[in-house]
């Protein structure tokens, strides 16, 4: 049996560009891709914190150290420059792979700088 699990997450990244006249995809700073373990052309889900929009696209490698998060093509209608988004990648894992499985979570600060990383989501009690 295989399970679909969260592989990686860039939490509260800021959109730096929204380019409608583009073929599609989301350009992400190459350093962030490497840190998260997201491959170029890998399918990603983007969740817009500001307006609740959720959409699927694929990652393309942006310039390392640029902090770029560019939502391109039709998805540019769903995210504006300055809005906060969560970018997630999922993968299929076997039961054996899940024994020591931990996702890579990258938490973003202003300017798309990394504030910290984790491999577990803290439980918050209301």
* Residues designated catalytic: 25, 58
Residues 6+ apart with CB under 8 A from 118: 105, 107
Distances (CA, A) of 89 to 6, 20, 21, 26, 126: 6, 23, 25, 13, 27
Q: What six digits make up the tokens of 46?
A: 């983007």
Instruction: For residue 13, give the nearest of 59, 40, 49 by alpha carbon.
Output: 49
Q: What six digits make up the tokens of 83?
A: 């809005």
């Amino acid at each position: 049996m295989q399970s679909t699990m969260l592989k990686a997450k860039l939490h509260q990244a800021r959109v730096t560009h929204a380019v409608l006249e583009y073929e599609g995809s989301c350009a992400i700073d190459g350093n962030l891709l490497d840190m998260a373990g997201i491959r170029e052309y890998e399918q990603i889900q983007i969740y817009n914190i500001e307006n609740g929009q959720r959409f699927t696209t694929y990652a393309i490698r942006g310039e390392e150290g640029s902090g770029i998060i560019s939502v391109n093509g039709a998805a540019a209608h769903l995210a504006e420059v300055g809005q906060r988004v969560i970018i997630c990648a999922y993968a299929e894992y076997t039961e054996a792979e899940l024994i020591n499985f931990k996702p890579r979570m990258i938490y973003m600060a202003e300017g798309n700088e990394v504030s910290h990383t984790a491999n577990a989501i803290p439980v918050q009690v209301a």
